[in-house]
Amino acid sequence: MKYSFMIEPGHTVKLKDYDPDFNAGLKKEEAAAKLEKLGEELSELQYLMYAAADTSLLIVLQGRDTSGKDGTIRHLTSHMNAQSCRVASFKQPTPEEIGHDFLWRIHKETPIKGSITIFNRSHYEDVLVVKVHKLAPDKIIERRYDHINNFEESLIDAGTCIIKFNLHISKDEQKARLLDREKESVKSWKLSVADWKERELWDQYTEAYEKALEKCSTKEAPWYVIPANHKWFRDLAITEVVVERLRPYRDRWQEDLKKRGVIALKELQTYRDSLKAGGKSTSEEA
Ligand code: AMP
Ligand code: MG
């Protein structure tokens, strides 16, 4: 069962075609049971990826304010070993960052082989917020879609698996979540006037998202629209995609680890044989 919507390359995107309330007819408890299984598989796949160390995983999270990027990160990392996963958050660029090309700060944060990096916002901000607020000339922004596709292609060539998620919430759900932050004292720190101001630009953001998804959904690095009004369903949909994208690597990783295991055992045997031949034996001998 598919819980998300993969954007086919070249497909015209209209976000209104995707229901943010979609839950595949699942009840919360059913989803929790499925999620637990997928979570276990994700842990196993991450372990294999870490050990085989020939592939890296880049997860890109994009979505409007309150769409659940932080919650998604909490969920995903709960199934991951902290040793081989990290989060990179992209805020308004610093003067040093803005003095470089827009991919400069991004490239530095990409994952090393064997590890996972989750981008909390990303290079896509440079065709989203930058486009909506006209922070760069149109001509420059127009060229960025190709730059992004080429950049991602070069990461893929270097062994990176790229998964891009758009957390899709409705305008009503955003309002409810923003108001919720006002009511709950532990959530108020998240409040920002900017969130309400950005909300006024809802339609402009919709257009910018549609264009980014349309131009930058490629065969190797497709975009996935995630119905995100229900947090429990969002977590299930995202985990399903991550597991499905990593599964095809499993056999290769296991084969590779088996071969390395055989070599390591052989080396150990040779060492022990040499000790014996020299008349030295240790009490630790197996
Ligand atoms: P938050 O994710 O709520 O901490 O907010 C980070 C803010 O930084 C958001 O409003 C983003 O739109 C903004 N931001 C991220 N990247 C860029 C960028 N390249 N140019 C301008 N603003 C950005
Ligand atoms: Mg914010």
What one-character-per-residue DSSP string does 151-162 give? HHHHHHHTTEEE
Confidence of residue 185 (pLDDT cuts 50, 70, 90): confident
pLDDT at 142: 98
Q: Does any ligand 1 atom lie closer than 6 A to the CB of residue 130?
A: yes
Taking the C-alpha atoms of residue 242 and residue 214, their distance in angstroms, rounded to an integer, is 21
Mean pLDDT of all residues in 89-118: 98
- Burial environment of residue 57 by CB neighbours within 10 A (0 to 12, 13 to 18, 19 or more): buried
Angle at 225 between CA 134 and CA 90, to 5 degrees: 45
CA distances from 86 to 64, 109, 226 (A): 22, 9, 22
What 3-state DSSP class applies to 197?
Answer: helix
Mean pLDDT of 145-174: 98
Residue of 119, 121, 144, 191 with the most ligand 1 atoms within 8 Å of its CB, for mutation: 121
Given this model, what pLDDT does residue 11 score?
A: 94
Instruction: Check residue 191 and give its pLDDT.
Output: 85
**Which residue minimizes the CA distance to atom 21 of ligand 1?**
92
Is ligand 1 within 6 A of the CB of residue 88?
Answer: no
Distance, CA of 120 to CA of 6 (rounded, Å): 20
For residue 232 and ligand 1, the question of a CB distance below 6 A is answered with no
Q: What is the mean pLDDT of residues 42-47?
A: 97
pLDDT tens, 235-261?
999 999 999 999 999 999 999 999 999
**64 CA to middle of ligand 2, Å?**
8
Nearest CA among 13, 119, 1 for reference residue 56:
119
pLDDT-wise least confident of 25-34, 77-86, 104-113, 188-197: 188-197
Whether pLDDT at 205 is above 90: yes
Has residue 187 got a pLDDT over 90? no
CA atoms within 13 A on the CB side of 99: 3
Nearest to 154, CA basis, from 221, 87, 206, 92: 221
Protein residue with its CA nearest to atom 23 in ligand 1: 92
d(CA 122, ligand 1 centre) in Å: 9
**Ion ligand 2 residue ranges (Cβ < 5 Å):** 65
For the chain, the average pLDDT equals 96
- Please report where in the chains the tokens 């050990």 appear, as a residue: 51
Indicate the pTM of the whole model.
Answer: 0.96
pLDDT at 188 over 90: no
State the DSSP code for 25: T
Structure tokens at 141: 């922004």
Query: What's the gap in Å between 193 CA and the centre of ligand 2?
Result: 9
Confidence of residue 283 (pLDDT cuts 50, 70, 90): low
Rounded mean pLDDT, 188-197:
89
Q: Where are the domains of the chain?
A: 5-249
Decide whether any atom of ligand 1 lies within 6 Å of the 235 Cβ: no
Substitution site in 65, 92, 104, 191 for ligand 1 pocket (most atoms within 8 Å of beta carbon): 92
pLDDT of residue 159: 98
pLDDT band at 169 (very low <50, low <70, confident <90, very high): very high
CATH of domain 5-249: 3.40.50.300
Decide if 85 contacts 51 (C-beta within 8 A).
no
Q: How far apart are the first and last CA of the chain?
A: 49
CB 21 within 8 A of CB 227: yes
Average of per-residue pLDDT across 160-168: 98
Best residue among 61, 129, 134, 193 to mutate for probing ligand 1, ranked by most atoms within 8 Å of CB? 129
Helix (H) or strand (E) holding 24, with range, is none
Residue 128, CA atoms < 13 Å, CB-side half-sphere: 24
Tell me if 68 sits within 8 A of 169, measured CB to CB.
yes
* pLDDT attached to residue 82: 94
Cβ of 121 closer than 6 Å to ligand 1, yes or no, is yes
Pair type for strands 5-6 and 223-227: antiparallel
The pLDDT value given to residue 286: 59
Ligand nearest 178 Cα, by number? Answer: 2
The Cα–Cα gap between 38 and 14 comes to: 30
Euclidean distance between CA atoms 252 and 159, whole angstroms: 13
pLDDT at 231 (0 to 100): 98
